[in-house]
Amino acid sequence: MRINKTILTIGLPALLMFALLAFFRQSGNAVEAPKAPPAPVAVDSTKCIAQTEYMRANHMKVLYEWRNSSVREGNRVFIAQNGSRFQKSLKTCLGCHATNRLFCFNCHMYANVRPKCWNCHLSPMETP
């Protein structure tokens, strides 16, 4: 009885830690040898990659997917619904949207959501 309890008190937290570890690592470990990436496309900022309504509600999912697939899997080409191809890069978005320096910040300040994009990337507020 005594030993069982010791196992439990040590084992359960350990199990929890492993579960958390798996959660944090996400799916980044099961990558096969990278395939030859599709030919890069030029940054095209003349049109948006999706409908405005869709982008308003889901831009974070798109950016999250872009980050993972482009940085971790090397797949830097996004094929939009209508078949046009875009470079998976913040530059694609900001090429147009940076004309309004407060484009991101208006809503993000209001909703108090602060993703860490600008820890690495240059924000439209910082560009001259």
Cβ at position 39, least distance to other proteins in Å: 28
Instruction: Select 101 or 108, whichever has its Cβ closest to other proteins.
Output: 108
Q: Which residues are near other proteins by CB under 8 A?
A: 16, 20, 23-24, 26, 56-58, 60-61, 64, 67, 107, 110-113, 115-116
Instruction: Select 36 or 57, whichever has its Cβ closest to other proteins.
Output: 57
Cβ at position 11, least distance to other proteins in Å: 14
Amino acid at 58: N
Strands (E), 1-128: 77-79, 85-87
Strand partners, 85: 79
Report which of 125, 55, 54, 119 is spatially closest to residue 92, judged by C-alpha positions.
Answer: 55
Instruction: Select 26 or 84, whichever has its Cβ closest to other proteins.
Output: 26
Cβ at position 24, least distance to other proteins in Å: 5
User: What is the DSSP annotation of 41-57?
Assistant: -----SS-SS-HHHHHH
